Amino acid sequence: MKYLVSILLTTALLAGHCAAGAQDVPQTQLQRTRLTAGIHQIDAQVAVTAEEHQTGLMFRQDMPQHEGMLFVFESPSRLCFWMKNTLIPLTAAFIAEDGAIVNLEDMKPQTQDSHCAAKPVRYVLEMNKGWFAKKGLKAGSKLSGGPFKP
């Protein structure tokens, strides 16, 4: 009986490891949209489903400066993000339905610290850390294109 339990536990652990290993790759084939922030162009992958939200930019080794990921949610809420399994430093822009940036949060790789919207938002745009600051974008700046009304 002890031997059977050991075999079952080993099988379960191996199956769990293989399943987890299959997901340890970046998602790079999501639908894309073009956003603008003033004169700046952003090529954003669009994460819409719960699974796409959960994976986000995990496991990416790098990301071109003009690229990011736009997380789209059903309705506005006080969203919080973390960086578990995310290898590159990011800045999250919490964005209102009209495309206005509510607040920006710099996030360190591979941490589980919560970074939250200052008020209910429907969108979050993750870019390489410092991208918004380098472009002079801050709370109140507006994005257009994609889901944002002109």
Contacts 24+ apart (CB under 8 A), 128-131: 128/63, 128/65, 128/68, 128/88, 128/89, 128/90, 128/91, 129/88, 129/89, 129/90, 129/91, 130/91, 130/106, 131/65, 131/68, 131/91
Asked if pLDDT for residue 1 goes beyond 80, the answer is no
Does the reported pTM lie above 0.85?
A: no
Determine the average pLDDT of the residues in 107-132.
97
CATH topology of domain 26-145: Jelly Rolls (2.60.120)
pLDDT at 150: 64
Place of tokens 């050991």: 6
Asked if pLDDT for residue 18 goes beyond 80, the answer is no
Q: Sorting pLDDT into bands at 50, 70 and 90, what band is 23?
A: low
Q: What's the chain's average pLDDT?
A: 87
Q: Contact, 66 vs 77, CB < 8 A? A: no
Task: Name the residue ranges covered by the structural domains of the chain.
Answer: 26-145
How many residues in total does the chain contain?
A: 150
Place of tokens 């399994």: 85
pLDDT at 2: 39
